[in-house]
Structure 1
């Protein structure tokens, strides 16, 4: 997610929101949605801001209600009492911040609390999929128990994008695609959970005129070997990790549709044709997002940090419109 195996670096979503900022002041610019059965491997590092200001960390939306904890105002404070309280608090915050103008962490903390107050109305509406039609629910597979939960998250992602959220990430639990064993049953189950919702998302974005301005990226950190892993016995075969050649797909946002780029060797093991590494992919994303390398610089401990970390990524023009 960060382009490096070194822990502690900002996630891609943090870099994007650091460079582009927010499109709305009522919702976070960067939202991550976890699986109800658990966090992905490495947990919060997947949406961490690293050493960027905390304003750029992903906001987690829970997989079940309440999707954001502690969002509702206590009954005794609702209405005018809350408005008076927030107005007074705003005066105190501005006075305190003016005296410590060099404290970016303080500025980020104040901004986060102010955003939380605005989210009490905007987030509740944005996360409510019951406002959608039955046809839309069926499009996302919400009418099927196998794809219902993932379909709801894909639909929420579309609702967030419509409302100006800059970067949305969906995760599956733990090592959901890590099929070292039982691949003959586990892989089809994983596909049934995700394939209709993600197809529905792309279809919905397109019919609403949002796909051309939205990049959809599906991928993970590695692929699988083209040979059987048989640690668990004949009836529970799987496939081990393969970092030398694997596939991701993208849609919308300036990517050329209906094309395949790159190829592996005859064994499906190593990428040998039109190889794209993560620096190339990040450089390509930067072009599509209208970003320059100077916009993705952050000075830290006397060093200029960046998404590409000083590497010369190649823009893959062949897959762009």
Structure 2
């Protein structure tokens, strides 16, 4: 559920700031630039080329908010450049502000969310383009008025690894903005992909009812699992093979233009997640004419007997991954 009360948001904000700054060193008061101006704030970072963050308030803004700015630190710059802001509205719960907090009703744990709305004042830098390019999974969070809000789950505000989770997100946003600047996204293929993503989201809104489970932590690691799979498969690909993904497919391999392998990653082993994964694997493997190797990648845990039989009958391989516990959880493929 979305954290909506002002006092609750203030507590979550304090937890976020405490967790992030505990892992970084103060660089003193620095100037921070953005399209509409600049401001001086205490900046935290472990040095050039790494994450920097700054926290402040913007109560005089049209929508009052807590200002949470992040970027890549450059000690030689007079003004640090913001890569992404994950701001939290203070007096309202306006969707016009990209950041928000969500609480798991089962555990009370609070998570930092971002809706993927990437600013910057440049053509091509926007939510749909970023989401289509980055393949981030959007989670639906319930609101007290019965509506939902979609967002990317970045991590627990009270966890030791929230700093590294934000840093990973900053790197992805920076790479996206670099791609926009270079013109890499200004192609018909990318425009089709964005249109496909918009159509997919429209369809998804009509059938999804939110995501809720006890081990919600796994959700924010979906991208990490895909990255590990990609790195592993890239390491043993042949000259004829390409390792790819799309808005609808987590990872697939083509050899000579023909799909040969297909991977679907799910961060839950709930029955509904498995039903969805099986359907995706069967549907998308049809592109290879029935000769596609299909792999379902899921967390550790027991599966229902009937689904084990179905997965086997459909010639779907199962790969597991593990999320370690502790202050700095780590994903490993099994």
TM-score after normalising by structure 2? 0.25
Higher RCO structure (Cα 8 Å, ≥6 apart)? 1
Kindly indicate which of the two structures has a greater share of residues assigned to helix.
Answer: 1
Kindly indicate which of the two structures has a greater share of residues assigned to strand.
Answer: 2
